[in-house]
Amino acid sequence: MSTERTPARRHPVRWHTGGPGGARRLLGRLRARLEEQQRAETHRMLEADMRGLWREACTGVGLCQYIDVAAGLTVRTPRFGALRLGRSGSSFTVELMPGGEPQDIEAHAPRLAHSLGFAGLRVQPVAGRWVRVVLHHHDPLASMFRLPHTVIGRADEAVLLGRAEDARLIEHALASPGHIAVQGQNGSGKTQLSYGLLAQLAAAADVLITGSDITGLLLGRVWDGSAHREWQVTGSRDLVAHAEHLDRLVAWMDQRLDAMPPRQDSITPTAQHPLVLVALEEFPGLLRAAQAKDRKLAERITSAVLRLLSEGRKAAFRVLMLAQRFEANAVGGGYARDQFALRLSFRVPADSLVMLHGDDARSLGTEHANAAPGIAYLSAPGHDCTRLRAAYVGGYGAFCDRIARDARRPDRRREDAA
């Protein structure tokens, strides 16, 4: 007896996923895995190249230690960690040498970045002795930096000064202690910086922008209709008016100091007791004009400014002084110059840079004497001679438009000096 066997039906291969298109999906996964392996290999090769360049660059700038061992002389540099590549930029971690600080790398940042093939770098602390070195493909100082269309609402909010050479934004809160000195030749950018500062402060409820301006451009007509205008004196025809206005501000300061509450040594700005920013545009020119007319008038102006500088911090007064050159006899003496905590220098001769920023800036003098408009050196608590590109408002017309749009309007009920 025989039987016929029915052949077993062969099922199609379903690969790993089964269903139609399984082979195509598998090939896609294999291709993606191969590309990932190629990327990883490329990353390892690039990381090895960067590690070698970093070691050579650190040795070249002297950021190393020479260790004499039996086998010979060994060079030790900050240890290269891991390279990170991303759309927002490239960076790598570094372990500092014993006793090292992030500032050791920052001191050689331009030369290290150039050796690595980048325009600049900045250092970010991570943990312990580890830091992250962030690389910049483009020079942050090379291109114009537009001031965003923003204003602050309070004196303790930071205003934007500019962008540093490591691409960090440099900001300053007016309520923090310290007066502001800005110097620079004509066309170097100091007036543009002032436009940006005042445009950001114009709407603050607890800031009053006052001052003296013999040019009539920074202050004056542009502020017509605002709460600030009656506290501003402009022009050079009536120099006595400038002296009287500064005396008025000193009297207001004295009034605040006399009314200081017990157990309190400073005033916190409020809408009723605003922080008073005293802008002195081309102050040396005002002094020269006053000296030519009446020496006693010049002494009166100098005396008032010295009092605002020396006593204004406690009474919520801040002085913003602008000059082409901060030599002692042009700004009321060396004592007056020493009262400025935040100092910015646009293009000036080397000796002028040292005059305002001290001997630490001497090595920068030759380079900065030919700096492009808008580039300044800044020294302040926490910032030792940092280069920055000042924020650009967009010209005088744009400054006028911002003041007309944003400046706070008068409110007669809340001025404690009325």
Enumerate domains of the chain plus CATH numbers: 37-136 (3.30.980.40), 158-260+267-414 (3.40.50.300)
To the question of whether residue 191 is assigned a binding role by annotation, the answer is: yes
Distance (Å, whole) CA 265 – CA 251: 18
**How many Å apart are CA 9 and CA 271, to the nearest integer?**
90
Comparing 307 with 120, the larger pLDDT belongs to 307
When pLDDT is averaged across residues 134-148 and rounded to a whole number, the result is 85
pLDDT score of 215:
92
| Strand, coil or helix: 342 | strand
Q: How confident is the model at residue 204 (pLDDT cuts 50, 70, 90)?
A: very high
Average pLDDT, integer, range 262-286: 93
Q: Is 192 annotated as a binding residue?
A: no
- The answer on whether 185 is annotated among ligand-binding residues is yes
Task: Report CA dihedral (232, 170, 367, 191) to the nearest 10 degrees.
Answer: -20
Interior CA angle at 57 toward 55 and 59, to 5°?
A: 70
DSSP structure class, residue 366: H
Label residues 88-103 b or e (16+ Cβ within 10 Å = b).
eebbbbbebbeebebe
The predicted pLDDT at position 415 comes to: 45
Annotated binding residue 187: yes
Q: Helix, strand, coil: what percent of the chain each, to 5?
A: 40, 25, 35
- The radius of gyration of the chain's CA atoms, rounded to the nearest angstrom, is 31
Confidence of residue 19 (pLDDT cuts 50, 70, 90): low
Alpha-carbon distance of 373 to 327, in angstroms, equals 21
Q: Is 184 annotated as a binding residue?
A: yes
CA–CA–CA angle 314, 317, 321 (5° rounding): 130
Over residues 140-150, the mean pLDDT reads: 86
**pLDDT tens across 65-115, in order?**
888 877 778 889 999 999 998 766 789 999 999 988 988 998 888 899 989
Secondary structure (3-state) at 63: coil
- Tell me what percent of the residues of the chain surpass a pLDDT of 70: 92
Rounded Cα distance, 247 and 267, in Å: 20
pLDDT for position 418: 45
Q: Mean per-residue pLDDT for 348-372? A: 87
Distance, in Å, from the CA atom of 262 to the CA atom of 245, rounded to the nearest integer, reads 29
Strand partners, 74: 67
Name residues whose C-beta falls within 8 Å of residue 98's C-beta, 6 or more positions apart in sequence: 129
Q: Evaluate if residue 5 carries a pLDDT over 90.
A: no
User: Residue 399 class from Cβ within 10 Å (0-12 exposed, 13-18 middle, 19+ buried)?
Assistant: buried
Give mean pLDDT, residues 395-408.
94
pTM over 0.85: no
Q: Is 189 annotated as contributing to ligand binding? A: yes
Name the residue with higher pLDDT: 86 or 222: 222
